[in-house]
Structure 1
Amino acid sequence: MGVYVRDSMQFVGEDGERENADIVFGCGYDQQGVLLNALETTDGVLGLTNKALSLPTQLASRGIISNAFGHCMSTDPSGAGGYLFLGDDYIPRWGMTWVPIRDGPADDVRRAQVKQINHGDQQLNAQGKLTQVVFDTGSTYTYFPDEALTRLISSLKEAASPRFVQDDSDKTLPFCMKSDFPVRSVEDVKHFFKPLSLQFEKRFFFSRTFNIRPEHYLVISDKGNVCLGVLNGTTIGYDSVVIVGDVSLRGKLVAYDNDKNEVGWVDFDCTNPRKRSRIPSFLRRALRNQLL
Structure 2
Amino acid sequence: MRGFFLAGMPVTVTIAGAAVAVLLQTAFVICAFPTILTLERAFPTNHLVELNELRYKDSFRHPRILQQQHQQSSSAASVVVFPVQGTYDPYRVGLYFTRVQLGSPPKEYYVQIDTGSDVLWVSCSSCDGCPRSSGLEIPIQFYDPSTSSTASLISCSDRRCSLGTQSSDSGCSNSNHQCSYTFQYGDGSGTSGYYVSDLIHLDTIAGDSKPSNASASIVFGCSTSQTGDLTKPDRAIDGIFGFGQQGLSVIAQLSSQGVAPDAFSHCLVGNGGGGGILVLGQIIEPTMVYTPLIQSQPHYNIDLLSISVNGQPLSIDPSLFATSGNRGGTIIDCGTTLSYLAEEAYDPFVDAITQSVSQFVRPITSKGDQCYVISSSTPEIFPTVSLNFAGGASMILRPQDYLLQQNSVGGASLWCIGFQKIRGQGITILGDLVLKDRIVVYDLGGQRIGWANYDCTSSANVSTSSSGGRSEYVNAGQIGGSSSGSSLQNNPYKLILIVVAFVPHILVIAVFFLVKLYMCIDIG
- TM-score band, normalised by the shorter chain? 0.7 to 0.9
**Are residue 231 (structure 1) and residue 428 (structure 2) matched?**
no
Q: Tell whether 2:288 aligns with 1:96.
A: yes
The residue type equivalent to 1:47 in the other structure is G
Q: Is the 8 A contact 2:260 2:281 kept in 1?
A: yes
- Which of 370, 378, 388 aligns to 1:199? It is 388
Q: Which amino acid aligns with 1:5?
A: V
Summarize the Cα distance change of 1:225–1:59 in structure 2 as closer, same or farther, 3 Å threshold.
Answer: same
Q: How does 1:237-256 map to 2 (within 5 A)?
A: 237-239=424-426, 241-256=427-442
- Counterpart of 2:501 in structure 1 is none
Counterparts of residues 49-60 of structure 1 (less than 5 Å): 49-60=244-255
Establish whether residue 133 from structure 1 lines up as the match of residue 318 from structure 2.
no
Counterparts in 2 of 1:263 and 1:213: CA distance versus 1, 3 Å = same
Find 1:167's aligned residue among 364, 375, 378: 364
Residues 300, 333 of structure 2: 8 Å contact kept: no
User: Which string of whole-angstrom CA distances, capped at 9 and with x for unpartnered residues, describes residues 153-185 of structure 1?
Assistant: 2222221123212223x32x6111223x2x43x
SS of 1:57's partner is helix
Match of 2:341 in 1: 144
Q: Is the contact between residue 141 and residue 246 of structure 1 (CA under 8 Å) also seen in structure 2?
A: yes
Hey, what does 1:8 align to over in structure 2?
199
Unmatched segments (≥5 aa) in structure 2: 1-181, 183-191, 230-238, 322-328, 464-468, 473-496, 498-524
Secondary structure at 1:144's aligned position in 2? strand
**Counterpart Cα distance in 2 of 1:249 and 1:27:** 29
TM-score, scaled relative to structure 1: 0.76
| Amino acid corresponding to residue 288 of structure 2 in structure 1 | M
Aligned 8 A contact 1:23 1:58 in 2: yes
Whether the 8 Å contact between 2:267 and 2:277 is mirrored in structure 1 is: yes
Distance apart, 1:61 and its partner CA? 1.5
- The aligned amino acid for 1:119 is V
Decide whether aligned partners of structure 1 residues 153 and 27 sit closer, same or farther in structure 2, where only a CA change above 3 A counts: farther
Aligned to 2:240, what secondary structure does the other structure show? coil
Which whole-Å CA distance do the structure 2 matches of 1:150 and 1:141 have between them?
A: 17
1:1-292 equivalence runs, <5 A: 1=182, 2-3=192-193, 4-14=195-205, 15-16=210-211, 18-26=213-221, 30=226, 45-76=240-271, 78=272, 80-88=274-282, 91-92=283-284, 94-102=286-294, 108-129=298-319, 131=321, 132-168=329-365, 170-171=366-367, 174-179=369-374, 181=375, 183-184=376-377, 188-190=378-380, 192-202=381-391, 207-223=392-408, 224-234=413-423, 237-239=424-426, 241-276=427-462, 278-279=469-470
* Contact 2:304–2:387 under 8 Å retained in 1: yes
Contact kept in structure 2, 1:116 and 1:130, CA below 8 Å: no
Query: What whole-Å deviation, never above 9, does each CA across 1:5-28 have from its counterpart, x for those lacking one?
Result: 321233354345543321122266
TM-score, with length taken from structure 2: 0.44
In the TM superposition, residue 125 of structure 1 has moved relative to its aligned partner by 4.7
**SS in structure 2 at match of 1:60:** helix
More helix by share: 2
Structure 1 segments, 4+ long, off by >4 Å, are: 27-33
**Secondary structure, counterpart of 1:117 in structure 2:** strand
**1:274 alignment partner, SS class:** strand
Where in structure 1 are there 5+ consecutive unaligned residues?
34-43, 283-292
Q: Following TM superposition, by how much is the alpha carbon of 1:199 offset from its aligned partner in structure 2, in angstroms?
A: 1.0
Q: 2: distance between equivalents of 1:109 and 1:72?
A: 19
C-alpha separation in 1, matches of 2:350 and 2:305: 20
C-alpha contact 2:267 2:436 (8 A) present in aligned 1:
yes
Paired residue secondary structure (1:111): strand
The alpha-carbon distance between structure 1 residues 19 and 266, as it changes in their structure 2 partners (threshold 3 A), is same
The amino acid that maps onto 1:274 is A
Q: What is the alpha-carbon distance in structure 1 between the residues aligned to residue 285 and residue 415 of structure 2?
A: 37
Larger RCO (CA under 8 A, 6+ residues apart): 1
In 1, the alpha carbon distance for the partners of 2:456 and 2:215 equals 30
Q: Is the 8 A contact 2:264 2:280 kept in 1?
A: yes
Does structure 1 conserve the Cα–Cα contact (< 8 Å) formed by 2:320 and 2:342?
A: no
The secondary structure found in structure 1 opposite 2:354 is helix
Shift in alpha-carbon separation, 1:165–1:72, aligned structure 2, 3 A:
same
Which structure's CA Rg is the greater one? 2
**Could you tell me whether the CA contact under 8 Å between 2:311 and 2:386 is conserved in 1?**
no
Q: Determine if contact 1:112/1:134 at 8 Å carries over to the other structure.
A: yes
- CA contact under 8 A between 1:115 and 1:130: conserved in structure 2? no
